[in-house]
């Protein structure tokens, strides 16, 4: 539940994030409806729960202070806030409308699953955008527009997601999914031809074929075969290659292969794949957790994601053995490894875990707790909550220690339960630093940011005239002069920002962000693909420039853009950063820099 606002409010809009902005919310809402949970009652519980965390115990903090001058009439207030004046009612309704427009929902956790009207609006927006992002050949790329091309992995994600959406009564234009399926079928047929050509090389080492070939099926073949099998389509010949080459796959690919075998009614092969996967399985009896121990060398590729592999493996085990005792141990491990208590590493793995959890709840019926939970800090009871099926979505499950409450030294956190039901919990710590200059950091990927003042250095070159004569032509050129800390820049100065990337391996799907210093505006404000030394999808935002890299080869690369100094003053350019969008542990940042803009002479 708590992961949904993160997915909906995620600030970027690639194809995967557009899909996962609404699909997990649909799954959760349908799960609640199957549990006969009243969405209206749950919404009111959320309002009451968060009233203690709001301005003077009543209104959400982000609304600010209510109007000081109010009319003297008395009337019911919107959203169950009791009685009040017409002025107060208008103020409350205004903020509710603003929250709904920004997909934040009603006061509380701002979760749209409690509002059918709001969720429908989010779904409609997402489906329309995905339809617009579909390319002419029927597939999808990471983004859309000029320069984009279809990706088999992205296309398979979207077709799978839209398939689930239709199963949950979300209206989708029929030809959208059909065109995506046709693209995947064409891609699979081409890969099978490559594999068959590889068989000829395998059978005869002296074979002198000139056609391209592949020697092994891989994780992507398993993913696409599984998506096609959801529609009872695809070439069954791929199954033989998947079983033959499963030793070449990661645990993620094996789990996908197992799901494909299950859907294809090949139980013997499915069980064999599950047996293969058990070599990666680690169980901790003391902590009652279980997880897949994956090698680290593939962590930044989609098929190396631990959480996604766990989600697929959980779905496979639910399909093959829904009563297996290892299932709650896997769920506990996933819940223990949330970041910030509400999400996992990325939008993609968060959405996949939510999908697996929805299937788990439906299969096990783990929806009727009856218990009292106490949280103790250093032996002192700091919070007590009674949790039942009636208040499952309305109890206050958060304890925050801030400022002086968190003293130096060692502390012990203890959680006690009395009654029936599992207790899922996580803990996290946030800190900040007061240092004046933020230093550079990074290991696997690093980013260095350089600022240059551009000075005109026009030259003349000889060009051929209309009669063949040599004609002098003025050319516009600039000389780059490095900018030092607090160096004065007259308003109107043209500045080039150079981002130098140092990558120790080949990576995919990275986000390079440069926080734009206040008072500086980009010269070129058009978003879209750029082809510098790197191919990147560039977005200009109010406070930053975002560069999305679908791949980054090992070595050093650079990419640049231009700003113009406009508003006089002293500002700090916060560090540029680079991170894996689906492997956020892959991260680096540059130093910060103070910039001084003066009045133009």
- Does residue 49 have a pLDDT over 70? no
- Does residue 110 have a pLDDT over 60? no
Please tell me the predicted confidence (pLDDT) of residue 552: 92
Residue 59 banded pLDDT, cuts 50, 70, 90:
low
Determine the average pLDDT of the residues in 161-169: 93
Determine the average pLDDT of the residues in 98-122: 61
Angle CA(98)–CA(102)–CA(108) in degrees, nearest 5?
75
Of residues 57 and 378, more confidence is placed in: 378
CATH class of the region 132-361 = mainly alpha
Q: Which CATH number among 2.60.40.740, 2.130.10.30, 3.40.50.12280, 3.40.50.970 corresponds to the domain 441-598?
A: 2.60.40.740
Low-confidence winner among 93-102, 270-279, 346-355, 361-370 (lowest mean pLDDT): 93-102
- Does residue 6 have a pLDDT over 90? no
Handedness of CA 81, 84, 88, 93 (dihedral sign): positive
Low-confidence winner among 40-49, 198-207, 272-281 (lowest mean pLDDT): 40-49
* Spatial CB neighbours of 574, under 8 Å, sequence gap ≥ 6: 438, 515, 517, 592
Determine the average pLDDT of the residues in 466-488: 76
Please tell me the predicted confidence (pLDDT) of residue 469: 61
Low-confidence winner among 119-128, 129-138, 277-286, 421-430 (lowest mean pLDDT): 421-430
Mean pLDDT of the chain: 86
- Does residue 526 have a pLDDT over 90? no
Of residues 114 and 350, more confidence is placed in: 350
132-361 and 441-598 share one fold: no
- Does residue 256 have a pLDDT over 70? yes
Three-state secondary-structure class, residue 373: strand
Please tell me the predicted confidence (pLDDT) of residue 56: 40
Domain range summary for the chain, segments of one domain joined by +: 2-64+71-114, 132-361, 370-420, 441-598
Helix-strand-coil split of the chain, %, nearest 5: 40, 25, 40
Please tell me the predicted confidence (pLDDT) of residue 82: 63
Three-state secondary-structure class, residue 438: coil
Most confident among 256-270, 326-340, 416-430 (mean pLDDT): 256-270
Residue 105 banded pLDDT, cuts 50, 70, 90:
very low
Concatenate the DSSP letters of all residues of 305-368 into one string.
-HHHHHHHHHHHHHHH-TT-THHHHHHHHHHHT-BTTTB-SSHHHHHHHHHHHHHHHHHH----
Percentage of the residues of the chain whose pLDDT score is greater than 90: 52
Maximum distance among all alpha carbons in the chain? 97
- Does residue 492 have a pLDDT over 50? yes
Determine the average pLDDT of the residues in 272-281: 95
Residue 51 banded pLDDT, cuts 50, 70, 90:
very low
Residue 171 banded pLDDT, cuts 50, 70, 90:
very high
Distances (CA, A) of 295 to 97, 106, 414, 586: 48, 43, 33, 16
**348-362: per-residue pLDDT in tens?**
999 999 999 989 988
Residue 101 banded pLDDT, cuts 50, 70, 90:
low
């Amino acid at each position: 539940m708590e992961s949904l606002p993160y997915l909906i409010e995620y600030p970027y809009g690639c194809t995967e994030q557009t899909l996962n902005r609404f699909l997990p919310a649909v799954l959760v809402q349908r799960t609640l409806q199957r549990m006969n949970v009243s969405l209206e009652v749950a919404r009111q519980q959320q309002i009451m729960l968060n009233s203690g965390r709001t301005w003077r115990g009543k209104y959400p903090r982000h609304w600010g202070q209510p109007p000081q001058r109010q009319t003297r009439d008395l009337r019911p207030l919107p959203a169950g806030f009791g009685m009040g004046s017409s002025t107060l009612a208008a103020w409350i309704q205004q903020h509710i409308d603003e929250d709904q427009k920004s997909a934040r929902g009603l006061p509380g956790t701002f979760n749209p699953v409690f509002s059918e009207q709001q969720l429908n609006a989010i779904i409609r927006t997402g489906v329309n955008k995905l339809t617009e992002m579909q390319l002419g050949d029927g597939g999808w790329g990471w983004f859309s527009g000029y320069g984009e091309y279809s990706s088999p992995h992205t296309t398979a994600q979207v077709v799978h997601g839209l398939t689930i959406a239709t199963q949950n009564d979300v209206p989708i234009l029929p030809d959208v999914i059909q065109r995506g399926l046709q693209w995947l079928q064409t891609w699979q047929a081409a890969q099978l031809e490559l594999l068959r050509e590889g068989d000829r090389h395998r059978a005869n080492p002296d074979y002198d074929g000139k056609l391209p070939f592949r020697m092994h099926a891989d994780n992507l073949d398993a993913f696409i075969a599984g998506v096609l099998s959801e529609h009872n389509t695809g070439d069954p010949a791929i199954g033989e290659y998947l079983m033959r080459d499963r030793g070449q796959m990661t645990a993620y690919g094996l789990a996908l292969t197992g799901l494909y075998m299950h859907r294809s009614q090949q139980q013997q092969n499915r069980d064999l794949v599950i047996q293969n996967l058990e070599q990666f399985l680690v169980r901790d009896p003391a902590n009652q957790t279980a997880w897949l121990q994956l090698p680290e060398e593939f962590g930044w590729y989609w098929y190396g994601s631990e959480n996604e592999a766990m989600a697929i493996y959980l779905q496979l085990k639910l399909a093959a053995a829904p009563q297996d005792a290892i299932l709650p141990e896997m769920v506990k491990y996933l819940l223990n490894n949330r970041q910030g208590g509400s999400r996992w590493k990325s939008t993609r793995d968060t959405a996949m875990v939510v999908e697996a959890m929805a299937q788990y709840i439906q299969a096990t019926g783990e929806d009727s707790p009856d218990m009292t939970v106490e949280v103790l800090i250093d032996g002192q009871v700091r919070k007590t909550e009674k949790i039942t099926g009636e208040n499952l979505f309305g109890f206050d499950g958060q304890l925050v220690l801030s400022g002086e409450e968190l003293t130096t030294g060692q502390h012990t956190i203890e959680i006690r339960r009395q009654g029936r039901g599992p207790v899922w919990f996580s803990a996290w710590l946030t800190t900040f630093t007061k240092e004046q200059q933020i230093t550079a950091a990074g290991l696997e990927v690093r980013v260095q940011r350089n600022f240059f003042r551009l000075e005109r250095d026009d030259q003349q070159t000889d060009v051929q005239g209309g009669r063949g004569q040599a004609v002098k032509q003025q050319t516009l050129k600039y000389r780059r002069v490095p900018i030092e800390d607090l160096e004065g820049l007259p308003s109107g100065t043209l500045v080039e920002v150079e981002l130098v990337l140092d990558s120790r391996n080949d990576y995919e799907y990275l986000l390079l962000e440069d926080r734009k210093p206040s008072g500086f505006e980009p010269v070129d404000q058009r978003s879209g693909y750029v082809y510098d030394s790197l191919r990147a999808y560039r977005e200009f935002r109010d406070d930053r420039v975002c560069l999305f890299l679908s791949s980054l080869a090992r070595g050093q690369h650079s990419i640049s853009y231009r700003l113009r100094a406009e508003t006089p003053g002293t500002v700090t350019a916060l560090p540029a950063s680079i991170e894996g969008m689906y492997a956020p542990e892959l991260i680096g940042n540059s130093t910060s820099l103070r910039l001084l803009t003066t009045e133009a002479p």
